[in-house]
Amino acid sequence: MAIAKAERLMNLALCLMNTRRPVSKRELRTSIEAYHEGSDDAFNRMFERDKDDLRELGMVIDTIESLDGEIGYLARRDRNRLPEIALDAEEAAALTLAAKVWQQARFAEAASGALQKLRAAGVPFDDGTDDLPAGAHSALEPRIPAPEPAFEPLMTAARERRAVAFDYRKANAVRPEPRQVEPWALECWRGHWYLAGLDRDRSDVRVFRLSRITGRVRLRGGGFTAPVPDHVDVRATVAGWAGDGSTGSTARIRLRRDSGYPLRARAVEILPVDADWDELEIPYGHGLDAWLAEFGPDVVVLEPAELRADVIDRLRAVAKG
């Protein structure tokens, strides 16, 4: 939900809940700044949409007609009170872990504030200040870094079902190309964020690595032109590109010591060569050349010859750029 709309809905909800009598649309328009501009017709349409949105969110709004025939609106506090929150130790630990995931994103402050409010209500959170029973998950420190500037606008666009445009540089390309995408889902795989969605220009499903998006992500008008699948498996697509979808063949590479840990995790065999290099046998599948090229001088492809040639071509293309 856009910040402007969220703020407008919050102000409307506060006006309806902090009054003892029904409030007319005229009074609401005067009280809420976002309703000041525009014609009466535009205000009426906006107010009706906002009222419907609040009701869809679970707010109970009464419509009351006064003696002189004027319609007023009221949200009684006793009908809009949330039940008491009761979480056991495991549920509280799960919420704590979820909040820690977003330590490096803009949601960190909001997540921290939510935990503080729940803790004040007596929920036993394990953040090093509470005494939880043995077996709580205090040792877990999940972190999902989201350093790419494109992360937050793409996540917001995916949630609001809004198309976006951005410039994207493929692994073997020198210059970025413009893309128009209907974003479906974001997933983190091996330390990198990926976006899956419908590429409007190509009329096909595509997956984009966020670190290859250059410049600003721009919103596009209009809704989605295609239905969003019930399940979007971003990781399976990316894994296929990285060679996880191989049919049993392998490649041999030389990898510099203390580097390339994702490659080591997938290796079938690791043999030390000398003080600086190890030799690895790894699964060979579509897209492995692009993945190996990302490790630059830390990787030397030994075989097969076609993989070695593809990696060299990619590195040369990057060097020319």
Is 311 among the domain residues? yes
Phi, psi angle pair for 97, to nearest 5°: -65, -45
For residue 172, being part of any structural domain is answered with yes
Q: How far apart are the two ends of the chain, measured CA to CA in Å?
A: 39
For the domain that residue 12 is a member of, what is the CATH number? 1.10.10.10
Asked if residue 223 and residue 170 are part of one domain, the reply reads yes
Residue 130: the pLDDT is: 45
pLDDT of residue 123: 58
310 domain-assigned: yes
Judge whether 243 lies within some domain: no
Confidence (pLDDT) at 28: 92
Pairing relationship of beta strands 250-256 and 277-283 according to DSSP bridges:
antiparallel
* Whole-number pLDDT of residue 238: 67
Residue at which a domain ends, from 126, 144, 162: 144
* Beta-bridge mates of residue 278: 255, 272
The answer on 302 and 279 residing in a single domain is yes
For the chain (321 residues), the mean pLDDT of every run of 10, in chain order, is 73 89 90 88 91 88 85 88 72 70 56 64 53 44 65 88 91 81 84 86 88 90 81 69 56 90 86 92 78 88 88 81 60
Tokens 């994103």 found at: 105
Phi-psi region of 84 (alpha: psi -120 to 50; beta: other; left: phi over 0): beta
Phi then psi dihedrals of residue 34, to 5 deg: -65, -20
What CATH number did the domain enclosing 285 receive?
Answer: 3.30.70
What is this structure's pTM?
Answer: 0.45
70 and 55 part of one domain: yes
Q: pLDDT tens across 177-199, in order?
A: 999 999 998 887 766 788 989 99
In a domain, 129, yes or no: yes
Residues 279 and 215 in one domain: no
Q: What's the total number of domains in the chain?
A: 4
In this structure, the answer to whether residues 14 and 72 fall within a common structural domain is yes
CB 197 within 8 A of CB 206: yes
Domain end position, chosen among 79, 99, 129: 79
Last residue of some domain: 122, 144, 166? 144
Helices (H), the chain: 3-17, 25-31, 40-56, 89-101, 108-120, 151-160, 234-241, 261-266, 288-293, 305-320
Same domain, 184 and 121: no
Q: Give the domain extent around 70.
A: 3-79
